[in-house]
Chains A and B, each alone.
Chain A
């Protein structure tokens, strides 16, 4: 009893501290906004960014260069179907049906090429066989997973479908429930992950989970603690780990703070309150057209006992986290703005 009470007090204290930080950040912004020169600079910068991004988008849409030519679509779909051992009903043993990707391919291309204008570095680091794709998670909605999927499906040769470990709550949602399996995604359970790796698949894991994706704007690019499960599975199945840094997704939806009671009511992991919410309602959850930068690091090979104690596993996880951190810093240094 006493313990739970003390953890309650701690949780409350954390909430207060977070609100204080939020307040300081907001006060800073307001102070900056009252300073005319700074205000002009910020407005200038956004006008410049929007015009550059807008002209990029307009060019792509007008000349149709965002769509793959039909023969390229065929080539990629054939390569995706090859050595998948599909049943007479077109699915692999995990329920993935490559042909079900066809109708949504234009949407994926639109998000990948037009909306997020994804810039990819080090895609050659993704091997052909089994591997774990480990990335930082952000953006309120998992468009970072969509971007990694786009890179592997649309830019890699031969194309691969990353198999993401889906949150259990999402599996019960109508429509998503019917589609995610067909699109090669799977319930996030260690057993599913193990079997996919043994079948030489590329499994995508965001070890920050719901904590990471739902973090408020003030905490952007501060990775939350990593889960350890992926490392045990990598050791057990002898799979290389490809660290991935996603830069840009943090700014797609601005989460002022999480409204925990509403999240609880809706059975969501979080309920972000965004600045546009009063104006746009639920549409405010949709991402703004920020520019994504993906960095695929060199595959990391780990050796050791999968059932080692937490300290030993944590040390290995820290190496992966550090690799992602380095690439994140590089991405933040390299980018010129949120939208370009």
Chain B
């Protein structure tokens, strides 16, 4: 080891839950130096993780790449918060990703891993039971709030052929459960969980630690491409909700759009009406590519994932964290 340069890894969105988990896992490796970029504060940060509290879109970010030889970028700094405006979403997600990819190309970073989501496929009644990576991204069909995330995913894909020297990996994990503040974890944390009368789609969830393992698996040299990341097998939504032991609220789907809109506007729920399609139709994906090529194996089951999402300390800190929802 002596004399050899430590490899340098940059994590965007490091203050988010997944960013923190990834940074902690990476800094345990002696041969890796971790620099995180996030405009939010990094609570309980291990001492040897460096944190640049800047906006990814700012020029100051480029100095880091100019002065350091970066070996890999993990781009987790995407935002999906229905309470934020469209223009903030678009500039943050699309321009932020453009900045990351341009820096990677300009300063010859060999590896870029983008954390997308399997929500880009969208819940639809005519989805195949196993959606593969080459399926069209229909997530914004009824839900305009997904447009920027789809644009980011496709933008990263364009780098596969524009800059083949960069190993670009796009990960599309299924619903991540844990201390994260994403839609599905927040949904399971509701005191009374809404369900659609007469609907019970199949859903897939993955434990946050498994999602981080998949990101690390994607960092191995020689890998590129799009990968669905799947944890334990799919299960009916009502079984998942039953695991929380909470009361449910059955809503007829005809009334749903109006009720959901009211609840969203009155800040009773943080789900826009269009997002309710996720509890109506299935969008289950095929994870065999990640299994075969990334050699990714999940370690946590559904029960553990649900337990991780419902941990008391996370639920208590919920209102404080609302303001900084990220995927």
Q: Chain A residues in contact with chain B, CB under 8 A?
A: 87-89, 91, 93-95, 97, 168, 171-179, 181-182, 186-187, 189, 191-192, 195
Contact of B198 among A97, A171, A175, A182 (CB under 8 A): A175
Asked if B236 is at the interface (CB within 8 A of a chain A CB), the reply is: yes
A187 touching B126, Cβ below 8 Å: yes
A187 touching B233, Cβ below 8 Å: no
Q: A168-B125, A171-B281, A189-B128 are in contact. List 8 more A-B contacts (CB 8 A).
A: A95-B129, A172-B125, A174-B252, A177-B199, A177-B200, A181-B282, A192-B129, A195-B129
A87 touching B235, Cβ below 8 Å: yes
CB-CB under 8 A from A95, the residues of chain B are: 129, 202, 234, 236, 282
The 6 closest A-B pairs by CB, nearest first: A174-B198, A178-B200, A175-B198, A171-B125, A172-B125, A89-B235
A91 touching B235, Cβ below 8 Å: yes
Within B120-135, the residues touching A (CB, 8 Å) are 125-130, 132
B127 touching A187, Cβ below 8 Å: yes
CB-CB under 8 A from A97, the residues of chain B are: 236
Of the listed residues B197, B235, B281, the one surrounded by the most CB atoms of chain A closer than 10 A to its CB is B235
Nearest chain-B residue to A89 (Cβ)? Answer: B235
Known contacts A89-B302, A95-B236, A174-B253: A191-B128 contact under CB 8 Å: yes
Nearest chain-B residue to A174 (Cβ)? Answer: B198
**Tier of interface size on chain B:** 20 to 34
Interface of chain B, main secondary structure: loop
Within B187-244, the residues touching A (CB, 8 Å) are 196-202, 232-236, 239
Q: Chain B residues in contact with chain A, CB under 8 A?
A: 125-130, 132, 196-202, 232-236, 239, 252-253, 280-282, 301-302
A232 to B130, CA, bound (A): 20
CB-CB under 8 A from A181, the residues of chain B are: 200, 202, 236, 282
B128 touching A93, Cβ below 8 Å: no
A178 touching B199, Cβ below 8 Å: yes
Nearest chain-B residue to A181 (Cβ)? Answer: B202
A273 to B70, CA, bound (A): 71
CB-CB under 8 A from B236, the residues of chain A are: 89, 91, 95, 97, 181-182
CB-CB under 8 A from B127, the residues of chain A are: 187
B197 touching A87, Cβ below 8 Å: no
Distance to closest chain B CB from A117 (angstroms): 32
Nearest chain-B residue to A188 (Cβ)? Answer: B126
Distance to closest chain A CB from B232 (angstroms): 8
A187 touching B125, Cβ below 8 Å: yes
CB-CB under 8 A from B232, the residues of chain A are: 87
Known contacts A89-B235, A89-B302: A186-B129 contact under CB 8 Å: yes
Known contacts A93-B233, A182-B236: A174-B197 contact under CB 8 Å: yes
Contact of A89 among B129, B196, B239 (CB under 8 A): B239
A187 touching B239, Cβ below 8 Å: no
Distance to closest chain B CB from A205 (angstroms): 16
A222 to B49, CA, bound (A): 75
Nearest chain-B residue to A171 (Cβ)? Answer: B125
A94 to B281, CA, bound (A): 14
CB-CB under 8 A from B198, the residues of chain A are: 173-178
Known contacts A89-B235, A89-B239, A174-B253: A192-B126 contact under CB 8 Å: no
CB-CB under 8 A from A94, the residues of chain B are: 129
A186 to B128, CA, bound (A): 9
Distance to closest chain B CB from A195 (angstroms): 6
Distance to closest chain B CB from A194 (angstroms): 10
A-B contact pairs, 14 of them (CB 8 A): A88-B301, A89-B235, A89-B302, A94-B129, A171-B125, A171-B126, A172-B125, A174-B197, A174-B253, A182-B200, A187-B125, A187-B126, A187-B128, A191-B130
CB-CB under 8 A from B253, the residues of chain A are: 174
A91 to B232, CA, bound (A): 12
A95 to B128, CA, bound (A): 12
Distance to closest chain A CB from B6 (angstroms): 42
B301 touching A93, Cβ below 8 Å: no
Known contacts A171-B125, A195-B129: A87-B199 contact under CB 8 Å: no
Nearest chain-B residue to A179 (Cβ)? Answer: B200
A191 to B132, CA, bound (A): 10
